[in-house]
Amino acid sequence: MNRRAQQPETKQVEHISFVKPHIFDVTPDVKLLWMKEVPNDTVRLDLFFDAGITRGNKSIPAIVHSLLLSGTNKHSSVEIHERIDALGGFLDTDISFETAVVSIYCLREYIREISNIVADAIQNLAFRETEVEDVLRSMRQQFAVNQQKVKYVAQQQFRKHLFASNPNYSTISEESDYEDSNVMAYKKYWKEHYLEGLTRITLVGDLEVDEVDALIDLFGKWAVDGKVEHAGGFQFRAERIDFPKEDAVQSAIRMGRFLFPKSHEDYIDFQMLNTILGDYFGSRLMSNIREDKGYTYGIGSGVMDMNKTGYFVIVTEVGKEVLENTLKEIKFELDRLQNELVPEDELDLVKNYTLGQLLKSADGPYAMLDMYNGVDMYGLTLEFYDEAIRKIKSITPERIRELAKQYLKFEDFLIITAG
């Protein structure tokens, strides 16, 4: 027998150790999560703020976020960055729907000093006129560039129409947002959402406890007062809307619908359905639309978690001439999951694959902290993952079909195309 024709024996992942971080109460509502066991000198500190893009209009959340390190009365933005760079530190900032994050990456000997610089920069932000102008100029230019990307247009329009019932969530950026500065409004937003808006701190690094206490003292003064409320109950219309772009050679597709928050009983099972449909290289969408038809470089699906809900979305960019065929094939795959049982062989593969990926997601202090944070933010515990392992191992083809019938009807989707 040809030994090369036979796959070596494989074993399903049996056990995954999930490590809980040390938890400090900054206030009754704001925590610091700390993963101490790091085998080298690296440190990452993340500050989470109740300052996502849905917390204000006219792009104010994004503008203020970009201005955070733009200078105090004492130090210009270049000087602030100069000081952080001198200590070998890196800053990263990120803004999403419901959260804004400021992250520091550095070696542990410098975390205290860099934190002091960042704390001072945000606390004493001066909104210097030239800096505000500079940020607005850059953002205006980036906005113009983004308008030429079909992917970006589809993404923005998808958001606008999916969240149609709530203006805070559905309002997308416009060029005029960056034309005239409104420092009064920026200041108000900064005070409310940063100086009184810290929602949590996460920390990875082999530090001493008193260093962690010092960070809590330093940043704790920004803690939000009370629990942060988020919106839910969004309504949208299932329809197709096209945004033509004449000279485009590809069209972007964004299509999806609302689901449920992470705490919902169908969440984990639905993730299995999502993986089969579009969340790994061998998924049905990839196999059909890329690997069989060659219509695209990539197609995928995913679940976006929000505080009160979550939504499902399919994302791709395809040759303009095959847009209609692609939509037809997506419908075909959605229908097939509703009408036919997933073969045991395919389901077993997805089970093994998912468990392997879960093992990888818990590998190392950085990954593990993100994983913990990914449930704790939604009020869940590590039990979520133990339950996930049980559910992944026991899910049946019938259950997959039932979920597909409930959640994956083509006619329930909002479909946006651009290009």
Partner 1 sequence: MIAFNRFKLENGLTVLHHFDSTTPMAVVNTLYNVGARDESEEKTGFAHLFEHLMFGGSVNIPDFDAPLQRAGGESNAFTSNDITNYYDVLPIQNIETALWLESDRMLSLAFTPKSLEVQRNVVIEEFKQRYLNQPYGDVWLELRPLAYKKHPYKWATIGKNIQHIEDATMDDVKAFFKAHYHPANAILCIAGNISLDETKRLVDKWYGDIPASLKPERILPKEPVQTEYRELTIERKVPHDAFYYSFKMPERKNFEYYVADIISDALGREKSSRLYSKLKKELKLVTSINAYITGSLDEGLLIIDGKLSDGVSFEELDKGLWPLLEDIKKELMTEAETSKLLNKIRTVKEFQEQGLLNRAMNLCLYELLGDANGVNEENILYQSITAEQIKTVANQLFTKENTSLLRVKSIKE
Cβ closest to partner 1, residue 223 vs residue 362: 362
Q: In angstroms, what is the minimal distance from the CB of 172 to partner 1? A: 18
CB 38 within 8 A of CB 205: yes
Q: In angstroms, what is the minimal distance from the CB of 268 to partner 1? A: 17
Whole-number Å distance between alpha carbons of 269 and 394? 10
Query: Which member of 167, 232, 343, 356 binds partner 1 (CB under 8 A)?
Result: 356
Query: Which member of 112, 187, 293, 336 binds partner 1 (CB under 8 A)?
Result: 293
Whole-number Å distance between alpha carbons of 271 and 303? 8
Whole-number Å distance between alpha carbons of 126 and 187? 9
Instruction: For residue 161, state whether it binds partner 1 (rule: CB under 8 A).
Output: no
The DSSP output letter for 70 is S
Neighbours of 199 (CB within 10 A): 23
Per-position b or e across 172-196, b if 16+ CB within 10 A of its CB: bbeeebbeeeeeeebeebbeebbee
CA 52 and chain centroid, separation: 12
Q: In angstroms, what is the minimal distance from the CB of 206 to partner 1? A: 12
Q: In angstroms, what is the minimal distance from the CB of 133 to partner 1? A: 8
Instruction: For residue 353, state whether it binds partner 1 (rule: CB under 8 A).
Output: yes
Residue numbers 40-69 binding partner 1 by CB under 8 A: 40-42
Q: Which residues contact 402 (CB under 8 A, 6 or more apart)?
A: none
Residue numbers 261-280 binding partner 1 by CB under 8 A: 280
Q: Which window, 195-203, 227-235, 257-265, 312-320, contacts partner 1 (CB under 8 A)?
A: 312-320
Instruction: For residue 213, state whether it binds partner 1 (rule: CB under 8 A).
Output: no
User: What is the token pair recorded at 18?
Assistant: 């999930």
Cβ closest to partner 1, residue 25 vs residue 92: 92
Residue 91: beta bridge partners?
104
CB 274 within 8 A of CB 312: yes
Residue numbers 100-159 binding partner 1 by CB under 8 A: 105-107, 130, 134, 137-138, 141, 144-145, 147-150
Instruction: For residue 92, state whether it binds partner 1 (rule: CB under 8 A).
Output: no
Instruction: For residue 181, state whether it binds partner 1 (rule: CB under 8 A).
Output: no
Instruction: For residue 349, state whether it binds partner 1 (rule: CB under 8 A).
Output: yes
Q: What three-state secondary structure class fits 21?
A: coil
Count of positions on this chain that bind partner 1 (CB under 8 A): 74
Q: In angstroms, what is the minimal distance from the CB of 44 to partner 1? A: 9
Whole-number Å distance between alpha carbons of 280 and 122? 40
Q: Where are the beta strands (DSSP E) in 50-128?
A: 90-95, 100-107
Q: Which window, 47-55, 231-239, 289-297, 327-335, contacts partner 1 (CB under 8 A)?
A: 289-297
